[in-house]
A = this chain, B = another copy of it.
Amino acid sequence: MSATTTLSRERAAPRRRDAEATRAAILEAAKTHFARSGYDHAALRDIAADAGCDVALIKRYFGGKDALFVEALKASFHPDRLREWDRRAFPRDAAIMLANAAPIGEEPTHSFQFLLRTATSPTTAPLLNLAMQERFLAPIRDWLGGEDAPARARVMAAVYIGFLVERLIREKPLRGRERDVFIDRVTAIFEAMIAPSP
């Protein structure tokens, strides 16, 4: 939803036929559906229905399911968020975030569910390499900086993904001592990863 883009406000005409808006609506719906259901189980008809338009428009605006997926994949990552994170606070903040329950459909998980679904499907795994490089590994590498940033970024990305997966399949929330131990251990791991090479 939220198909009404704010751009070109000078054109007061509330034209109902707005290619740009429909395209954006399709992309938005696609992000949600792909993240929730994965590539295979996301039906273009459902996406179109959510976007409030016909399936055929997807072909017109994106070309096909593959192309739509790639666009949605690109649009689903917001690596800029990383820059806002404080280096000192990150390990524990991230650990606590991971210890808490993952609300289904909430924003932060969104893109990572996407990631997971993409990584584990043979169809889409190849597509992920590029996106990972550009949008995930590179930002982490820059954020880390220092010696051996590439290898360390790779390790950090892997660990982070692992915890996201764990949270995704966690059956019940962590409590009490288990939660505390979990947080402490995860914090230690993140701290070790951020630490520059000796």
Contacts and interface: CB of A to CB of B under 8 A. Distances in A.
A185 B152 CA distance: 8
A24 interface: no
A143 interface: no
Please indicate which of the listed interface residues A116, A123, A129, A166 has the most CB atoms of chain B within 10 Å of its own CB. A166
A178 interface: yes
Interface in A167-185: 168-169, 171, 174, 177-179, 181-182, 185
A197 B169 contact: no
Copies of this chain present in the complex amount to 2
A71 to B, nearest CB: 19
Contacts of A120: 38, 40, 116-117, 119-121, 165, 168
Contacts of A38: 120-122
Interface in A14-31: none
A57 interface: no
A36 B171 CA distance: 25
Given A116-B119, A168-B119, A168-B125, A193 B185 contact: yes
Nearest to A41: B122
A189 B192 contact: yes
Contacts of A162: 158-163, 165
Interface in A55-111: none
A1 interface: no
A151 B178 contact: yes
A48 B31 CA distance: 36
A132 interface: yes
A181 B197 contact: yes
A162 to B, nearest CB: 2
A171 B36 CA distance: 25
Given A37-B122, A154-B166, 10 more contacts: A40-B41, A117-B120, A125-B168, A125-B169, A133-B171, A151-B174, A152-B181, A155-B185, A158-B162, A192-B192
